[in-house]
Amino acid sequence: MRPIGSDEAFPDRMDVILRIKNLPEFHELWCDYVENQWNKWAEIERPRRRSIEFYNKIYQIYQRLIALGDDTPIELVFGVGIARWVIQNTLLNIPVIEQLIEIELQEDGSLHIRPRRTAPQLALKAFHVLEIEGSKAVQHDIGQQLEHTVEDPDIGFSPFDKRSFEKILRACAACLSPNGDYHPDTLTDPNDRSLPDADDVLRLTDTWVVYVRQRSGDFRREDIARLIDRVDKVGTPDELPAPAVSFVVEPSGEVLYPSDFDSLDPSNAELVLPEPQSGADGSRLGHRSGRAQTDADATNGTFFFPLPFNDERVEIIRRLEGAQRSTPGVDRDSSRGSGIRPVGA
């Protein structure tokens, strides 16, 4: 056949349809290639492709977390124990135990997912919303059991160690529903990691999942609560960081640097002002403003300004001082603003 889009009636290259029923030898070779070569390659390549896809998703999440910084509205969660249940016309498909995690990008490009310093929590909020009987009691009692398990140095918490969560999930399945089922007990193949179909029976699996969710609106309050808990566990105040203690302790009345004078009154003979600093051109710099002070300025005295000043303000002080030393017949413009003092606003 003439190729699609070709303007020539008989081009040098033509399209040909090969029908497999007319090519028995080719069909036999093709089937042998698919069964003995391609399938073996696909069996090895398939998990590799899934790993690449998973890596790309995690890397995209990492980029979002880095771009948004500490105030990012999302967080990464490691969920253990998936609850599958249809109740009150609502599908529950949520993890029962949640552990906040973070991502670290290594120099070789690998991504390390690590748990944050926060302890894993029993996440039964969905059960509370549906008003499942006993859910709040399970949150309290089983939650304390989870805390003890995590604090146990011989067990701790890991999604790869069933000892750290199996008892918790069994207790949740039994207490949240009269016919609750711990799904691994019903499996004939222990390596089956697929999720069960959701029905009217509560089923809890021992599988885990990594997911992103909207960050809780009260995460700052949770951080403060954890900080309070850490402070309560401190034995002595000396164990707390000194800068942190200074925020909550009344300042000391002790004078660390005693002065040689009682006031900033210029008439005080003990008041000694620092010498003006010299600039790069040899001129002396005025205090606070960085203005160059000439020898004539030094001859007329040193002015103490607690706030930044300029030449115009210095001129006002000179005129005021000149007005005070002059006779009553001095020009009124020179004494204008005589209520202004060198020190102050």
Tens of pLDDT, residue by residue over 118-152, are 889 899 999 999 999 889 999 999 999 998 888 88
pLDDT in tens, 62-83: 888 888 766 667 888 999 999 9
Q: What is the mean pLDDT of residues 258-272?
A: 56
Q: What is the mean pLDDT of residues 296-321?
A: 70
Report whether pLDDT(47) > 80: yes
Burial class (CB in 10 A: 0-12, 13-18, 19+), 325: exposed
CA 330 to chain CA centroid, nearest Å: 70
C-alpha 201/C-alpha 345 separation (Å) is: 78
C-alpha 15/C-alpha 68 separation (Å) is: 54
Report whether pLDDT(338) > 50: no
For 2, residues 6+ apart whose C-beta sits below 8 A from its C-beta are: 8, 9, 10, 11, 14, 15
Report whether pLDDT(49) > 90: yes
pLDDT in tens, 204-251: 999 999 988 887 655 567 677 777 877 888 877 778 887 777 777 777
Tokens read off for 41: 């390659």
Burial class (CB in 10 A: 0-12, 13-18, 19+), 91: exposed
pLDDT for 241: 81
Q: What angle do CA 144, 150, 156 make, to 5 degrees?
A: 155
Dihedral pair phi/psi, residue 108, rounded to 5° = -85, 5
122 DSSP β-pair partners:
97
C-alpha 331/C-alpha 119 separation (Å) is: 80
Start-to-end C-alpha separation, the chain: 97
C-alpha 20/C-alpha 31 separation (Å) is: 11
Q: How confident is the model at residue 267 (pLDDT cuts 50, 70, 90)?
A: low
Q: With pLDDT > 70 as the criterion, what percentage of the chain qualifies?
A: 76
Q: What is the mean pLDDT of residues 303-320?
A: 77
C-alpha 41/C-alpha 51 separation (Å) is: 16
Q: With pLDDT > 90 as the criterion, what percentage of the chain qualifies?
A: 28
Predicted TM-score of the model (pTM)? 0.55
- Among the listed ranges 14-18, 124-128, 257-261, 318-322, which one has the minimum average pLDDT value? 257-261
CA distances from 162 to 166, 203, 217, 326 (A): 5, 17, 32, 96
Identify whether the C-beta of residue 146 lies closer than 8 Å to the C-beta of residue 156: no
